[in-house]
Amino acid sequence: MSKKEFFIRSIIGLVMGALSGVAFWLAFPPYELWPLIFIGWVPALLAQQRIMPAKLSSVPSALAIGIWLEGYMGPIFRPTGSYMIYLPLVAALISLLADMSKRKFNRKTRYRWFVLEGALSWAGIEMIRLFIPIAGTWGFIAYPLYRQLWFIQPASIFGIIGQGVLIMTVNLVVALGVIRWLDRRENPVDKAIVPEQTFKRWAYGTGIAVVLWTALSLALFRPPDGQQVTVAAIQPDVSPIITGNQGDEALLAGIHSAMLGQTRQAAAQGAEFIVWPEGAMLFDPQVDDRLGLADLAVETNSNLAVGYVVNLVDGTFRNEATVIDPAGEFLGVFGKDHPVVFGGETSPTRGTYPVYQTPIGTLGTIICYDLDYTDTARKLAAQGVQLIGVPSNDWGGIADKHYTHVVFRAIENRVAMVKADGGYDSAIVDPYGRINALAVSPEGGGATLVADVLLGSGNGTINTRLGDWVGWLGIAGMVFFGFGGGFLVKDAVRRETD
């Protein structure tokens, strides 16, 4: 390869990598060009496997990941000033190192494993992220489809990672077809050409899989019949927890007064389950009910789910939620399962997952960042929960993104969810992902959401019982290809010589 060709291919490869990064970025909220998620990774794959000089083959995918995550996460973490702003760079560097041998492997095996290895690796990476306290499901490639309810119902079987596998498989098969076309056009006798049988097998198989997936999704997508309950999410104008930590007692008193009024307003509209935000008070209402929440529950004849924070002498704090029934009884305590460690948060009371049997259904709570992981809602669903209250305390940078997580947690476990935020994004979502009410305000602002919502069956789903099983298959696939790649190359050589 001449220096001129090396330079031209490098520039084209970089442009294609950047194009993929931008495409994935635009697929997510707030842009929501969701069809791009099915083809957006194709340019990076083509650059990696065919266009870029071999010694730089991992650069396009690394660039794509860096641009995509910076576009998606940059607005989230830049205002926080935390080390999380370096996540896109770290992810890009990991990709740069991890993908260095992929082109060589695929050419030597004549792309026989290109789709399978790529899809399983993506699933494995998403699964690994669930073990990292600073990662969770943020940026999972299924989230752009949160409004395509006709297509995402199989998440109740395969989970959000399974949905992502299908999306990435489509990208890989499209890329495989273009690679075959390019190689045949340039050099019809090159043994690195994708065999026709390999491409047809993957193209037909993926096409059938998409059709069957869509048919299954439509079969699972039910009309809103069954038992319904009127619920409410109370979103104040300003975050109570931040105001309280800043010591502005007058403003905090005004926030509490307004929330009491919002609660009465919601109850007047028939709400029987009313959710307050995370850290709505900096004291335990079971010990010091200075706001009169027990009396409020009696007065409004409703179940109140409230979040509160209690600072401890050792510098940690209890971030918890409780439910108060219409008789004024405190039913139990849930400790935040996934503390925001990059924000210095702790959760010494985590690890119990109570559910509450009530006349309106089986209730439970999770708190804010718990939404970003698949396990917490699943643990409640395994105990028969039908309706989950989600006190949260977001900030403007995630207001147009975080509520999309509620949709998938609801579908994965067939439970209804009520997210009440401290000023930015609240939502009421039914077990099939329908957003019955929504208030999103990146600049901050109050809202009182009231809606009738279908209760979950209380039986959970296959995903509830099996957990992130597709993710575990992904990790197994990564291990197989990581340690068995040499054997697969030798087998490919043997096939060629037979």
pLDDT digits (tens, 9 = 90+) for 379-403: 999 999 999 999 999 999 999 999 9
Q: Tell me what pLDDT residue 27 has.
A: 97
Lowest mean pLDDT among 196-200, 222-226, 386-390: 222-226
482 in the same domain as 374: no
What is the pLDDT averaged over residues 202-221? 97
Mean of all residue pLDDT scores within the chain: 93
Q: How would you list the strands of the sheet with 425-429, edge to edge?
A: 355-358, 361-365, 387-392, 416-421, 425-429, 435-440
Q: Tell me what pLDDT residue 364 has.
A: 98
489 in the same domain as 450: no
237: nearest Cα among 413, 388, 97, 439: 439
479 in the same domain as 387: no
139: nearest Cα among 18, 29, 44, 35: 29
Q: Tell me what pLDDT residue 203 has.
A: 97
Is a pLDDT exceeding 80 seen at residue 84? no
CB contact at 8 A, 57 and 99:
yes
Structure confidence at residue 192 as a pLDDT band (50, 70, 90): low
Structure confidence at residue 191 as a pLDDT band (50, 70, 90): low
Write out 218-244 in H/E/C secondary structure: HHHCCCCCCCEEEEEEEECCCCHHHHH
206 in the same domain as 273: no
428 in the same domain as 298: yes
Is a pLDDT exceeding 80 seen at residue 182? yes
Counted domains in the chain: 2
CA distance 111 to 181: 13
What three-state secondary structure class fits 356? strand
Q: How would you list the strands of the sheet with 317-324, edge to edge?
A: 330-335, 317-324, 303-311, 273-275, 228-235, 447-454
Write out the E strands in 398-462: 416-421, 425-429, 435-440, 447-454
399 in the same domain as 319: yes
Single pTM value for the model: 0.94
pLDDT digits (tens, 9 = 90+) for 50-59: 999 999 999 9
pLDDT digits (tens, 9 = 90+) for 111-133: 999 999 999 999 999 999 999 88
Q: Tell me what pLDDT residue 487 has.
A: 87
Q: What's the one-letter identity of residue 20?
A: S
CA distance 73 to 250: 34
What is the longest distance spanned by two Cα atoms in the chain? 83
DSSP category for residue 195: P
150 in the same domain as 21: yes
Whichever domain contains 305, its CATH number is 3.60.110.10
194 in the same domain as 45: yes
Q: Tell me what pLDDT residue 300 has.
A: 97
pLDDT digits (tens, 9 = 90+) for 468-478: 999 999 999 99
428 in the same domain as 325: yes
418 in the same domain as 280: yes
Copy the structure tokens of residue 7.
Answer: 């330079």
242 in the same domain as 189: no
Beta bridge partners, 420, equal: 391
pLDDT digits (tens, 9 = 90+) for 240-254: 999 998 989 999 999
pLDDT digits (tens, 9 = 90+) for 290-341: 999 999 999 999 999 999 999 887 778 899 999 999 999 999 999 999 998 8
Looking at the chain, the whole-number percentage of residues with pLDDT higher than 70 is 98
Beta bridge partners, 418, equal: 389, 428
Structure confidence at residue 188 as a pLDDT band (50, 70, 90): low
What is the pLDDT averaged over residues 144-166? 98
The dihedral over CA atoms of 130, 131, 136, 140, expressed in degrees to the nearest 10, equals: -40
Query: Domain containing 88: what range?
Result: 3-222+468-497
pLDDT digits (tens, 9 = 90+) for 357-366: 999 999 999 9
Q: Which helix (H) or strand (E) holds 59?
A: helix 59-77
CA distance 135 to 91: 11
What is the Cα 351 distance to its own chain's centre?
Answer: 21
What is the pLDDT averaged over residues 21-41? 97
Copy the structure tokens of residue 163.
Answer: 């949905």
CA distance 179 to 36: 19
| Interacting residues of 431 by C-beta distance below 8 A, sequence separation 6+ | 410, 411, 413, 414, 415, 416, 454, 455, 456, 457
DSSP category for residue 37: G
Looking at the chain, the whole-number percentage of residues with pLDDT higher than 90 is 81
398 in the same domain as 263: yes
Lowest mean pLDDT among 260-264, 270-274, 399-403: 399-403
